[in-house]
Amino acid sequence: MHRREFIKITAVSGAICLTPSFLTASSTLTLKEGLSVYKLSWKFDLSHHSANACALWVPLPSDISGFQRLIELGDSTEAETHFESDHNRYGARTFYALWEKSAVSKTLELSMNVALRDRQCDFRPKRICPDEMENAKAFLAPSAHIPTDGAVAKVAKLIVGGEKNPLKKARKIYDWIVENSYRDENVHGCGVGSPNAMLSQLERDGRMGGKCLDMSALCVALMRASGIPAREVMGIRVGASRLSPAFGASEDITKAQHCKVEFFIPNMGWIPCDPADITKLVLKEGIDKNSPRAIELANKFFGFWENNWMALNHARDFDLYPANTQGTLDSFGYPYAEVDGEYLDPFEPKSYRYTIRSTKEAK
């Protein structure tokens, strides 16, 4: 078992200078009250592909100043090649393992301790580093799955109207998605994340059904079309929520992937939100979206992430490293594997036998 320690504490004095959320090398997160620490175990077994070469890419958590810190990471494997890397356009941290055809044991176990604290925005102005503001502009651009023209631009204009304040524009978009969408349990995994597909359904049916990636991608597209840098954040629920069982309840988190949103305001930095979880709350608790409880949590989730969810990356439409056979990935919230270059469906963990378990450390 190989282990690496990632405990890093930075003292900050003078002006507040916010580093990029997923590129920071250290964190001001310290082990104080309000902090939860989770121990995660990821187990993979591709040994049944006995005569095939197997390649596996696993998304790893990143540090987020004030919210999340990776304390320790360990791995155990007999893979001929295995290493960590962030060599991709988004700096998404990845564990890579490659087993040759002749390998008998094709297993990998990753263990990690992650410290999490509620991420709560107070919406007060801050001094933001010029580099951070410049880096945020990259998240205004469209991508293969995030258009900012056509139907997206048209709907964005209808939602924000003549509003000029970027924070108020973001809130209008967030509220509009909560109002016009519903959670569709028939959708595979976290959804496909196509804003145009969501808007086409809205035009056809008068409402939009999907899951977290669908609603997060639409939120991001509408914000970018309105001049607000925004990005989806892939992650996983690591434990029980104190707010609702709909937001996490199990130690078996193999299928607990969940996507949230960040948007950037020039004098505030990156702000968290989560429109998709309100639709899940409504479905799981059987309540009306206009009920006092739903309205209260919708207000709370604009500027809030709970400390039972672990962020992985904001990678969409990007290339893995080392390069995979099947090409550009839509997103990287699930493990990705290929057997002799053929893609394995990560939404069916039994297809290559992986499990993810999480336990909360006692205080």
pLDDT score recorded for residue 351: 78
pLDDT tens string, the chain, 363 residues long: the values are: 565 544 332 222 222 333 334 333 333 444 455 799 999 999 999 999 989 999 999 999 988 988 999 999 999 999 999 999 999 989 999 999 999 999 999 999 999 999 999 999 999 999 999 999 999 999 999 999 999 999 999 999 999 999 999 999 999 999 999 999 999 999 989 999 999 999 999 999 999 999 999 999 999 999 999 999 999 999 999 999 999 999 998 899 999 999 999 999 999 999 999 999 999 999 999 999 999 999 999 999 999 999 999 999 999 999 999 999 999 999 999 999 999 999 998 888 777 799 999 999 976
Q: How many CB atoms lie within 10 A of CB 323?
A: 9
Q: Ramachandran region of residue 191, left (φ > 0), alpha (ψ -120 to 50) or beta?
A: left
Per-residue CA distances from 104 to 52, 54, 266, 336 (Å): 10, 11, 54, 21
User: Residue 198 half-sphere exposure, CB side, CA atoms within 13 Å?
Assistant: 32
Domains (ranges, CATH) in the chain?
Answer: 19-117+318-360 (2.60.40.2250), 138-306 (3.10.620.30)
Taking the model in full, what pTM does it have?
Answer: 0.90
Let me know: does 214 contact 194? Beta carbons within 8 Å. yes
Instruction: Check if the beta carbon of residue 118 is closer than 8 Å to that of residue 34.
Output: yes
Are 232 and 216 in contact by the 8 Å Cβ rule? The answer is yes
**What is the C-alpha to C-alpha distance for residues 98 and 357, in angstroms, rounded to an integer?**
23
User: What pLDDT is recorded for position 350?
Assistant: 79
The Cα 337–Cα 306 span in angstroms is 30
Q: Is 320 helix (H, G, I), strand (E, B) or coil?
A: coil
According to the model, what pLDDT value does residue 7 have? 35
How would you classify residue 286: left for phi > 0, otherwise alpha for psi between -120 and 50, otherwise beta? left
- The pairing of strands 208-210 and 181-183 is parallel
Q: Do the beta carbons of residue 222 and residue 156 sit within 8 Å?
A: yes
- Strand-pair partners of 3: 74
Do residues 347 and 337 lie in contact, with contact meaning Cβ atoms separated by under 8 Å?
no
Asked if omega into 245 is within 30° of 0 (cis), the reply is: no
Residue located via tokens 């939120």: 219
CB 232 within 8 A of CB 143: no
- 347-351-352-353 Cα dihedral, nearest 10 degrees: 90
Residue 273 confidence (pLDDT): 98
Q: Are 90 and 232 in contact (CB under 8 A)?
A: no
The β-bridge partners of 99 are 54
Task: Give the pLDDT score at 363.
Answer: 67
Tokens 């509408």, residue located = 222
